Amino acid sequence: MLVLTRRAGESILIGDDITVTILGVTPGGVRVGIDAPRDMRIHRAEIVVAVSDENRGAVQSSSDDAAESALLNALGRRPEAE
């Protein structure tokens, strides 16, 4: 990991078409501006992790429901309404 020190108003260039600018620094955090091509996806890491976790949970729940339905079907029963 490259670690750089920047002050408000200073920038970092990534490649030829991405600029990261420090907009402000407060005790509560740092405001960062990112200038990048529109087709470049930029996401906060915690959001990507949360969505991944939700997707994994949905797949697990879906496969559990499918397994239960298959078992009930094999037994000749219908799932009970909840």
- N- to C-terminal Cα separation, the chain: 51
Q: Are residues 25 and 48 in the same domain?
A: no
Euclidean distance between CA atoms 70 and 64, whole angstroms? 10
* DSSP 8-state assignment for residue 21: E
pLDDT in tens, 34-81: 999 999 999 999 988 888 888 877 766 656 666 677 777 777 766 555
Give the per-residue pLDDT at 19.
98
Q: Supply the range of the domain harboring residue 22.
A: 1-38
Instruction: Report the SS3 class of residue 61.
Output: helix
Phi, psi dihedral angles at 49 (to 5 degrees)? -65, -45
SS3 54: helix
Q: What span, in angstroms and rounded, lies between the C-alpha atoms of 12 and 24?
A: 14
Quickly state the pLDDT bin for 10 (edges 50, 70, 90): very high
Based on the fold, state whether residues 24 and 52 are members of the same structural domain: no
Q: Indicate if 49 and 77 belong to the same structural domain.
A: yes
Q: pTM for the full model?
A: 0.62
pLDDT, residue 20, reads 97
pLDDT, mean of residues 22-44: 95
